[in-house]
Amino acid sequence: MTNEAPQLHIDSDWKAQAEAERDRLAKAEQSKAAHEAEGGHGALPPADMRSLVGMIATQALAGLGMYGDRDSGRVVVDFEGAKFAIDLLGVLEEKTKGNLAEDESAELRQVLTELRSRFVQLLQVVAQQQAQAGGAGAMGGMPSPAAMTGSPAAGSTAPAKPSIIIPG
């Protein structure tokens, strides 16, 4: 055996390697930030008219039952909430008349037309189903919750279908 003491080997290049790694990570972070600023994953949409209209329209669609409950398979319809969101878009259209770019104005009109049409169509479908079930409307022309539970008659062996729930 030799009596050599362990020697400490100091890599004189470690500072250069650490700085290179820091620079590489900084560039990666800048690249990620630039990607997010361009609308990449993780970035919020721009705070503009299109986003505002889209957010309110999504609330109206939710009220019209477009986003059903995955667990129960039921469609929850909130006519009053949907009407409120559609009315808000109407107010927005009225108050911004003449102050929007043509494409913004056209998009708002299109969204309002589509939502109003869906609202009326769904209201008619629910009213027809109520009439067939013998229910009477109790919410100022809007269907009553009791008539739209969609549950099969007692003793029925028919499979449960997705039902519409109208909060009262």
CA 134, CA 128: separation in Å to the nearest integer? 10
Please choose, from the candidates 136, 164, 142, the residue with its C-alpha nearest in 3D space to the C-alpha of residue 151. 164
Name every residue whose Cβ is closer than 8 Å to that of residue 130 and which is 6 or more positions away in sequence.
Answer: 136, 137, 143, 144, 147, 148
* Range name among 56-65, 69-78, 117-126, 157-166 with the lowest pLDDT average: 157-166
**CA pair distance 20, 166, nearest whole angstrom:** 62
Amino acid letter at 105?
S
Q: pLDDT over 70 for what percent of the chain?
A: 62
Domain ranges of the chain: 49-151+161-165
Residue 104: per-residue pLDDT: 95
Q: Which residue has the higher pLDDT, 135 or 127?
A: 127
Long-range Cβ contact pairs of 62-69 (< 8 A, separation 24 or more):
64/115, 64/118, 64/119, 64/122, 65/122, 65/164, 68/162
pTM here?
A: 0.59
Closest residue by Cα to residue 53 from 81, 90, 102, 80: 90
Tens-digit pLDDT profile for residues 87-130 = 999 999 999 999 999 999 999 999 999 999 999 999 999 889 88
**For 41-62, what is the mean pLDDT?**
89
